[in-house]
Chains A and B, each alone.
Chain A
C-alpha cells in the first residue's frame, strides 16, 4: 500500500536498506535494528498516505519488505509500531531543535531558529509532520499522552520569554495555547497537501509566538529579520 519500497525511501539511511536474502552473517542485533527502523519508516510513510485509521500491518509489511513474522517479533500490534514511530520522531527532533535554539544567543532569535528547524524538518518529511501533529488526536490515549508530554517539554523554553515582559504577567496556560496552535497550523498545512511548503509559515508563526512576550511591533521585526 505504501508508495515507497525501502530502497526508494529517502528517510532510510544506507545501512538500513533492505538486507541481502539468505545467509548474510550479520549480527542479529543489527538485523533487528534494520527491520525495526524499516518498519517504522514504512509506517510513517503509510500514515502520510492513509492516516492512522487506514494504516494496516499488511500495508506496513509491504512498505518495509519484511515478513509478518518479523513484524510480530518486534511489535505486538500496529499501535506499538505507531508509538515506536512517534517516539523515534520526537527523539530525532529533540537534538535538532535544541541545536537550533542554542545557536542563537537572544531569546527571540532562539525561538525563531527552533521554529525554523521544526518547519524545515517537517517540510522535508511531511509524513512525519502528520504523525507528530495530527495523528495523536485519533490514535488512542497512549499517543495523546506522549504528544502532550512532547509539547510540555517545549513549554519551559517558551516561558523564558516572560522575563522580557514588563507589566501584568501572562496567563499560566499561554505557552500551551501557543504551542497547540503551532501544532495545529502545521497539521492543517500538512493535511492540505502543502507540507513541503511549511517553511513559508515561519514569519507569521514567529510573529504569533513572540507577540505575547514582546508586543506586536518587536515580534514583527524579529519575524521578518
Chain B
C-alpha cells in the first residue's frame, strides 16, 4: 500500500510541521486512495455482507502489518496534523462507515438497528488498529480479527449470528 511519497517517511521521522499542509494532503490522498482500492478489490468477489466485511477487515489487518509506517500515518497523522488531519480522518471514517452500512440491504428491518452502528464498528476497528500500531507486546491484530467480526455481525444481526460467524471463521 506504499504510495511512494517520501513525505510519509519524513512524517514518521520528524512529525508534522507548520507548512506541511500541502504535502500532508497529497500524501494522505494517495495513501487513502491506495487503501480504498485494495479494500474494494478484496471485497468485490463476495456478494454477502458478512463475507465482504471479513474480507475487508482481513485485508486491513494485512496492510497494517505489512506497511506499519503507512498505517501509522493514516492512524496518527490525523491527530498530529491538527485540523487538516482531522478533516481527512473524518472523510476516511465516513467512507468506511458507508461501506459497512451497505449491510442494511440485507437486514429484514433496517430501521431497528441504530443509525450510528456503522460508526460504532469503524470506531471499534480504529481502536484496535491504533493499539496494534503502538504496542510492542500482546497479540497481533490478526488474532483479534474473529472477535472483531463477531462484534460487527452481532451489532447488525444479533449475538447468535455473531457467534455463528465466529465459529465459522475459527
Chain A interface (Cβ < 8 Å from any Cβ of B):
50-54, 134-135, 137-138, 141, 144, 148, 165, 167-168, 170-174, 177-178, 180-181, 183-185, 187-188, 191-192, 201, 203-205, 207-208, 211-213, 215-216, 220
Q: B15: nearest residue on chain A (CB-CB)? A: A53
CA gap between A207 and B151 in the complex, in Å: 13
Interface string of B112-141 (1 = CB under 8 A from A): 111111011101101110110111100000
A208 near B117: Cβ-Cβ < 8 Å: yes
Q: How far is the CA of A208 from the CA of B121 in the complex (A)?
A: 10
Which stretch of B23-31, B49-57, B75-83 is in the interface? B75-83
A174 and B127 in contact, given A50-B82, A53-B79, A167-B160 (Cβ under 8 angstroms): no
17 contacts between A and B (CB under 8 A): A137-B130, A171-B147, A171-B150, A177-B144, A177-B147, A180-B124, A180-B127, A181-B124, A187-B123, A188-B93, A204-B115, A204-B117, A211-B155, A211-B158, A212-B151, A212-B162, A215-B159
CB atoms of B82 and A174 under 8 A apart: no
Known: A53-B79, A204-B117. 5 other contacts (CB 8 A): A134-B79, A168-B160, A177-B128, A180-B131, A211-B159
Which residues of chain A come closer than 8 Å to B74, judged between CB atoms? none
B93 pairs with A137, CB closer than 8 A: no
| B156 nearest CB neighbor, chain A only | A216
Q: Which B residue's beta carbon lies closest to that of A143?
A: B134
Among candidates A141, A172, A181, residue contacting B127 with C-beta atoms closer than 8 Å: A181
Separation in Å of the B128 CB from the closest CB of chain A?
6
How many whole Å from A169's CB to the nearest CB in chain B?
9
Q: In the bound complex, do residue A188 and residue B119 qualify as a contact, i.e. CB atoms below 8 Å apart? A: yes
Please report the C-alpha to C-alpha distance between residue A50 and residue B16 in the assembled complex, in whole angstroms. 13
B86 within 8 A of partner (CB): yes
Report Cα–Cα, A172/B113, bound state, in Å: 25
CB distance from B73 to the nearest CB of A (A): 12
Residues of chain B contacted by A211 (CB below 8 angstroms):
154-155, 158-159
The residue from B76, B115, B120, B136 contacting A181, defined by CB atoms under 8 A apart: B120
A167 / chain B contacts, CB cutoff of 8 Å: 160, 163
- Confirm or deny: B148 has a beta carbon within 8 angstroms of a beta carbon on chain A: yes
Known A-B contacts A138-B80, A171-B166; A212 and B159 likewise in contact (beta carbons under 8 Å): yes
Within 8 Å of chain A (Cβ to Cβ): is B9?
A: no
Contact B151 A174 (CB under 8 A): yes
Chain A residues closer than 8 Å to B80, beta-carbon distance: 51, 53, 138
CB of B105, distance to nearest CB on chain A (Å): 18
List the B residue with the shortest CB-CB distance to A169. Answer: B163
Q: Is A138 in contact with B159, judged by CB distance below 8 angstroms?
A: no
| B144 and chain A: residue at smallest CB distance | A173
Across the interface, name the chain A residue whose C-beta is closest to B113: A216
Q: Can you list the 9 inter-chain pairs with the closest CB atoms, starting with the nearest?
A: A184-B123, A180-B127, A181-B124, A184-B127, A204-B114, A137-B130, A171-B147, A53-B80, A173-B147
